[in-house]
Amino acid sequence: MYTRQNLALSLVLAISMVGISYGVGGDMGAATEPLTDGSAAYPYLIEDLADFDEFANQTNAAIYWAGGVYTKLTCDPNLTGKPPYTTAVIAPDVNSYFEGVFNGDGHIVRNLTIDTVGANNDYLGLFGKIEGSGARVKNLGIENTNITGGNYSARLGGLCGNNSGTITNCYATGPVTGLWHSSY
């Protein structure tokens, strides 16, 4: 016979098992794939919005954005409800860039909004700068973007603001707005 205490414990265990089965937010796949190490065989996994935020956090750039590091998207991040970004989400400024391999695996990032609020920030898009001969972004969709640069913003795009790597099998939809000045 179940008591309230047993029932509550069963419920907690069931919820914990669901969390283990579907990944724990912000762990980049470590809960579901303990061998995840950022290699081609065991890429870091973006399984939910918390993982997406972990990957995008500039303080983690040396871990996730470096050359030879592989990351795979396993969900469709929906950014609805997040405050607008004022810079690119990944590699957001002239001094940072994405050099790794990002496989969108056919998934879609939806509802990305970047608004510089007149700050004239450059390198706007999901990726600000993709740079290097080994840098690759592939198999990724970006839908319903809204990118708004300031009067002197440069290098804007839905997927990427500036690319010197390789982008394959990717697309972006939505407006990208900036104002061109002859001083460039």
Residue 4 has what pLDDT? 45
Series of mean pLDDT values for 10-residue runs along the chain (184 residues):
42 36 65 84 95 94 95 97 95 91 98 91 94 97 94 90 97 88 53
Residue 9 has what pLDDT? 37
Residue 181 has what pLDDT? 57
What is the three-class DSSP state of 76? coil
CA distance from start to end of the chain: 77
Residue 23 has what pLDDT? 44
Q: Pairing relation of β-strands 113-115 and 166-172?
A: unpaired
Bridge partners (DSSP) listed for residue 35? none
Q: Pairing relation of β-strands 136-143 and 166-172?
A: parallel
> What does pTM read for this prediction?
0.82
Residue 10 CB-density burial (10 A; 0-12 exposed, 13-18 middle, 19+ buried)? exposed
